[in-house]
Amino acid sequence: MSSFDYYAKRPHDHEHDHEHDDHAPQTEAEGPPSEFEIMSRAMQELLEAKGVVTAQEIRRRIELFEEDFPYRGGRVIAHAWTDPDYKRRLLADGRAACAEFGIELEAERLIAVENTPEVHNVIVCTLCSCYPRALLGMPPTWYKSRNYRSRVVFEPRAVLREFGTVLPDNVTVRVHDSNADMRYVVIPMRPQGTEGWSEERLAGLLTRDTLVGVTLPQATEKK
Protein backbone atom coordinates (compact mmCIF):
# COMPACT_ATOMS: atom_id res chain seq x y z
CA MET A 1 0.00 0.00 0.00
CA SER A 2 1.43 3.38 -0.93
CA SER A 3 1.66 6.04 1.73
CA PHE A 4 -1.32 8.11 0.58
CA ASP A 5 -3.61 5.08 0.69
CA TYR A 6 -3.29 5.30 4.44
CA TYR A 7 -5.60 8.31 4.40
CA ALA A 8 -7.98 6.78 1.90
CA LYS A 9 -8.38 3.82 4.23
CA ARG A 10 -9.58 5.92 7.13
CA PRO A 11 -13.19 6.75 6.34
CA HIS A 12 -13.87 7.96 9.87
CA ASP A 13 -11.09 10.47 10.28
CA HIS A 14 -13.60 13.22 9.71
CA GLU A 15 -16.80 13.90 11.55
CA HIS A 16 -19.57 15.58 9.70
CA ASP A 17 -23.07 14.99 8.63
CA HIS A 18 -22.63 14.21 4.99
CA GLU A 19 -25.15 11.71 3.81
CA HIS A 20 -22.66 9.31 2.38
CA ASP A 21 -22.46 5.78 3.60
CA ASP A 22 -19.17 5.32 5.38
CA HIS A 23 -20.01 1.71 6.03
CA ALA A 24 -20.23 0.62 2.44
CA PRO A 25 -17.66 -2.04 1.65
CA GLN A 26 -14.00 -1.11 1.59
CA THR A 27 -11.29 -3.40 0.37
CA GLU A 28 -10.12 -4.67 3.71
CA ALA A 29 -6.66 -5.97 4.27
CA GLU A 30 -6.48 -9.34 6.00
CA GLY A 31 -5.79 -9.20 9.70
CA PRO A 32 -7.56 -8.30 12.90
CA PRO A 33 -10.47 -5.86 12.45
CA SER A 34 -9.74 -2.21 13.09
CA GLU A 35 -11.45 -0.20 15.79
CA PHE A 36 -13.78 1.29 13.17
CA GLU A 37 -14.70 -2.10 11.73
CA ILE A 38 -15.56 -3.35 15.22
CA MET A 39 -17.61 -0.23 15.92
CA SER A 40 -19.42 -0.54 12.60
CA ARG A 41 -20.15 -4.22 13.21
CA ALA A 42 -21.40 -3.53 16.73
CA MET A 43 -23.64 -0.75 15.47
CA GLN A 44 -25.13 -2.97 12.79
CA GLU A 45 -25.80 -5.75 15.30
CA LEU A 46 -27.49 -3.33 17.69
CA LEU A 47 -29.66 -1.89 14.94
CA GLU A 48 -30.63 -5.38 13.86
CA ALA A 49 -31.38 -6.44 17.44
CA LYS A 50 -33.62 -3.41 17.90
CA GLY A 51 -35.40 -4.16 14.63
CA VAL A 52 -34.38 -0.89 12.96
CA VAL A 53 -32.77 -2.58 9.97
CA THR A 54 -32.31 -6.13 8.80
CA ALA A 55 -29.14 -7.74 7.50
CA GLN A 56 -31.02 -8.27 4.25
CA GLU A 57 -31.68 -4.54 3.91
CA ILE A 58 -28.02 -3.77 4.45
CA ARG A 59 -26.99 -6.40 1.94
CA ARG A 60 -29.47 -4.96 -0.59
CA ARG A 61 -28.10 -1.51 0.04
CA ILE A 62 -24.53 -2.60 -0.67
CA GLU A 63 -25.78 -4.28 -3.82
CA LEU A 64 -27.36 -1.01 -5.02
CA PHE A 65 -24.11 0.86 -4.45
CA GLU A 66 -22.24 -1.73 -6.49
CA GLU A 67 -24.69 -2.64 -9.23
CA ASP A 68 -27.08 0.26 -9.81
CA PHE A 69 -25.70 3.56 -8.58
CA PRO A 70 -22.49 3.47 -10.67
CA TYR A 71 -24.55 3.49 -13.89
CA ARG A 72 -27.01 6.23 -13.02
CA GLY A 73 -24.69 9.12 -13.86
CA GLY A 74 -24.05 7.95 -17.41
CA ARG A 75 -27.77 7.53 -18.06
CA VAL A 76 -28.58 11.02 -16.82
CA ILE A 77 -25.82 12.70 -18.82
CA ALA A 78 -26.60 10.72 -21.98
CA HIS A 79 -30.17 11.97 -21.68
CA ALA A 80 -28.87 15.52 -21.30
CA TRP A 81 -26.79 15.06 -24.47
CA THR A 82 -29.88 14.12 -26.47
CA ASP A 83 -32.33 16.59 -24.95
CA PRO A 84 -31.13 20.22 -24.73
CA ASP A 85 -34.11 21.26 -22.61
CA TYR A 86 -33.33 18.51 -20.13
CA LYS A 87 -29.69 19.62 -20.05
CA ARG A 88 -30.81 23.14 -19.16
CA ARG A 89 -32.91 21.79 -16.31
CA LEU A 90 -30.02 19.60 -15.15
CA LEU A 91 -27.71 22.61 -15.08
CA ALA A 92 -30.34 24.67 -13.26
CA ASP A 93 -30.99 22.09 -10.53
CA GLY A 94 -29.26 18.72 -10.67
CA ARG A 95 -31.25 17.03 -7.97
CA ALA A 96 -34.64 18.03 -9.40
CA ALA A 97 -33.58 16.96 -12.91
CA CYS A 98 -32.48 13.54 -11.63
CA ALA A 99 -35.81 13.12 -9.82
CA GLU A 100 -37.62 14.00 -13.03
CA PHE A 101 -35.61 11.24 -14.76
CA GLY A 102 -36.71 8.76 -12.11
CA ILE A 103 -33.52 8.86 -10.05
CA GLU A 104 -33.93 9.90 -6.46
CA LEU A 105 -30.65 11.15 -5.04
CA GLU A 106 -31.93 10.68 -1.50
CA ALA A 107 -30.29 13.44 0.53
CA GLU A 108 -27.69 14.45 -2.03
CA ARG A 109 -27.78 17.87 -3.61
CA LEU A 110 -26.25 18.01 -7.05
CA ILE A 111 -24.62 20.64 -9.20
CA ALA A 112 -23.95 19.69 -12.83
CA VAL A 113 -21.15 21.59 -14.54
CA GLU A 114 -20.77 21.61 -18.30
CA ASN A 115 -17.62 21.21 -20.35
CA THR A 116 -17.44 23.45 -23.42
CA PRO A 117 -14.73 24.20 -25.97
CA GLU A 118 -13.68 27.00 -23.59
CA VAL A 119 -14.02 25.39 -20.13
CA HIS A 120 -13.05 22.03 -18.66
CA ASN A 121 -14.41 21.04 -15.24
CA VAL A 122 -12.83 18.68 -12.73
CA ILE A 123 -14.12 17.63 -9.31
CA VAL A 124 -12.29 16.96 -6.04
CA CYS A 125 -13.01 16.99 -2.33
CA THR A 126 -9.89 18.21 -0.57
CA LEU A 127 -11.31 17.72 2.93
CA CYS A 128 -12.36 14.08 2.70
CA SER A 129 -13.91 12.21 -0.19
CA CYS A 130 -17.31 13.81 -0.85
CA TYR A 131 -18.64 12.25 -4.03
CA PRO A 132 -22.08 11.90 -5.68
CA ARG A 133 -22.46 8.32 -4.49
CA ALA A 134 -26.14 8.04 -5.32
CA LEU A 135 -25.23 8.91 -8.93
CA LEU A 136 -21.80 7.34 -9.44
CA GLY A 137 -21.51 4.68 -6.75
CA MET A 138 -18.52 4.47 -4.46
CA PRO A 139 -15.59 6.77 -5.19
CA PRO A 140 -12.49 5.17 -6.69
CA THR A 141 -9.39 4.83 -4.53
CA TRP A 142 -7.51 7.50 -6.45
CA TYR A 143 -10.30 10.01 -5.77
CA LYS A 144 -9.84 9.47 -2.04
CA SER A 145 -6.05 9.49 -2.19
CA ARG A 146 -4.10 12.29 -0.59
CA ASN A 147 -2.14 12.57 -3.80
CA TYR A 148 -5.17 13.46 -5.97
CA ARG A 149 -6.88 15.58 -3.33
CA SER A 150 -3.87 17.72 -2.60
CA ARG A 151 -2.51 18.08 -6.14
CA VAL A 152 -5.50 18.59 -8.40
CA VAL A 153 -6.35 21.90 -6.76
CA PHE A 154 -3.02 23.54 -7.45
CA GLU A 155 -1.67 21.67 -10.46
CA PRO A 156 -4.81 20.40 -12.19
CA ARG A 157 -3.24 20.36 -15.62
CA ALA A 158 -0.39 18.12 -14.47
CA VAL A 159 -2.83 15.72 -12.77
CA LEU A 160 -5.08 15.66 -15.83
CA ARG A 161 -2.05 14.88 -18.02
CA GLU A 162 -1.38 11.84 -15.83
CA PHE A 163 -4.89 10.68 -16.68
CA GLY A 164 -4.07 11.20 -20.37
CA THR A 165 -6.08 14.41 -20.62
CA VAL A 166 -4.06 17.20 -22.21
CA LEU A 167 -5.81 20.54 -22.44
CA PRO A 168 -4.59 23.51 -24.47
CA ASP A 169 -3.86 26.72 -22.59
CA ASN A 170 -6.80 28.55 -24.16
CA VAL A 171 -9.18 26.19 -22.30
CA THR A 172 -10.02 27.37 -18.79
CA VAL A 173 -9.55 24.65 -16.20
CA ARG A 174 -12.30 25.04 -13.60
CA VAL A 175 -11.63 23.00 -10.46
CA HIS A 176 -14.50 22.39 -8.04
CA ASP A 177 -13.65 21.61 -4.43
CA SER A 178 -16.67 19.63 -3.20
CA ASN A 179 -15.98 20.73 0.34
CA ALA A 180 -19.42 21.17 1.93
CA ASP A 181 -23.05 20.31 1.15
CA MET A 182 -23.18 20.05 -2.63
CA ARG A 183 -22.12 17.19 -4.88
CA TYR A 184 -20.92 17.57 -8.45
CA VAL A 185 -21.10 15.86 -11.80
CA VAL A 186 -19.45 16.93 -15.04
CA ILE A 187 -21.40 17.06 -18.29
CA PRO A 188 -18.65 16.23 -20.80
CA MET A 189 -18.81 17.39 -24.40
CA ARG A 190 -20.49 14.85 -26.64
CA PRO A 191 -17.83 13.39 -28.95
CA GLN A 192 -18.06 13.85 -32.68
CA GLY A 193 -19.10 10.75 -34.56
CA THR A 194 -21.88 9.86 -32.13
CA GLU A 195 -24.70 11.42 -34.13
CA GLY A 196 -27.80 9.25 -34.07
CA TRP A 197 -26.56 7.04 -31.23
CA SER A 198 -29.13 5.79 -28.73
CA GLU A 199 -28.99 7.07 -25.17
CA GLU A 200 -27.97 3.63 -24.02
CA ARG A 201 -25.03 3.55 -26.40
CA LEU A 202 -24.03 7.09 -25.42
CA ALA A 203 -24.21 6.16 -21.75
CA GLY A 204 -21.58 3.51 -22.45
CA LEU A 205 -19.08 6.29 -23.26
CA LEU A 206 -19.77 8.11 -20.02
CA THR A 207 -17.43 6.32 -17.69
CA ARG A 208 -17.05 7.33 -14.08
CA ASP A 209 -13.79 9.17 -14.81
CA THR A 210 -15.42 11.30 -17.52
CA LEU A 211 -18.10 12.39 -15.04
CA VAL A 212 -15.49 13.42 -12.47
CA GLY A 213 -13.69 15.30 -15.24
CA VAL A 214 -10.32 13.57 -15.31
CA THR A 215 -10.83 12.02 -18.74
CA LEU A 216 -12.83 12.81 -21.89
CA PRO A 217 -15.35 10.42 -23.47
CA GLN A 218 -14.04 8.74 -26.59
CA ALA A 219 -16.30 7.76 -29.47
CA THR A 220 -14.60 4.36 -29.70
CA GLU A 221 -16.43 1.91 -27.50
CA LYS A 222 -14.57 -0.57 -25.37
CA LYS A 223 -14.98 -4.31 -25.93
Partner 1 sequence: MPAGGTATRSSYAPAPGHRFAIGDKVRVKRSFPPGHRRTPYYIRGKQGVIERICGAFPNPEELAYGFDGEPAKVLYRVRFAQKHVWPGYDGPDHDIIEMEIYEHWLEPDDTGVSHGDAR
Q: What is the distance between the alpha carbons of residues 143 and 178, in angstroms, rounded to a whole number?
A: 12
Least separation, in Å, of the C-beta of 43 and partner 1?
11
- State yes or no: is 125 an active-site residue: yes
Spatial CB neighbours of 125, under 8 Å, sequence gap ≥ 6: 131, 143, 149, 177, 178, 179
Set 130, 150, 178, 198: catalytic member: 130
Determine the Cα–Cα distance for residues 101 and 117; give it in Å rounded to an integer. Answer: 27
Q: Which of 98, 125, 145, 178 is catalytic?
A: 125
**129 belongs to the catalytic site:** yes
9 or 171, CB closer to partner 1?
171
From the list 128, 145, 178, 198, the catalytic residue is 128
Strand partners for 124: 177
- Considering the complex, state which of residue 175 and residue 189 has its C-beta at the smaller distance from partner 1: 175
Complete DSSP assignment for 56-86: HHHHHHHHHHHHTHHHHHHHHHHHHHH-HHH
Binding site for partner 1 (CB under 8 A): 14-17, 19-21, 53, 61, 93-96, 99, 104, 106-111, 118-119, 126-127, 134, 153-158, 169-170, 172-182
Nearer to partner 1, 111 or 194 (CB): 111
With respect to partner 1, which residue has the nearer C-beta, 118 or 195?
A: 118
- Characterize the bridge pairing of strands 182-187 and 172-177: unpaired
**Min. distance of Cβ 180 from partner 1 in angstroms?**
4
Min dist. Cβ of residue 171 to partner 1 (A) = 9
Rounded least distance, CB 17 to partner 1, Å: 4
Q: How far is CA 210 from the centre of its chain?
A: 10
| Angle at which helices 55-67 and 35-49 cross, to 10° | 120
| Residue 28 DSSP one-character state | P
Residue 98 annotated as catalytic: no
User: Residue 154 Cβ, how far from partner 1 at the closest point, in Å?
Assistant: 5
Which among 129, 145, 178, 198 is annotated as catalytic? Answer: 129
Q: What is the dihedral of CA 68, 72, 78, 80, to 10 degrees?
A: 160
Secondary structure of residue 94 in the 3-state scheme: helix
Instruction: Report the residue number, 69 or 197, with the smaller CB distance to partner 1.
Output: 69
Q: Which amino acids are annotated catalytic?
A: 125, 128-130
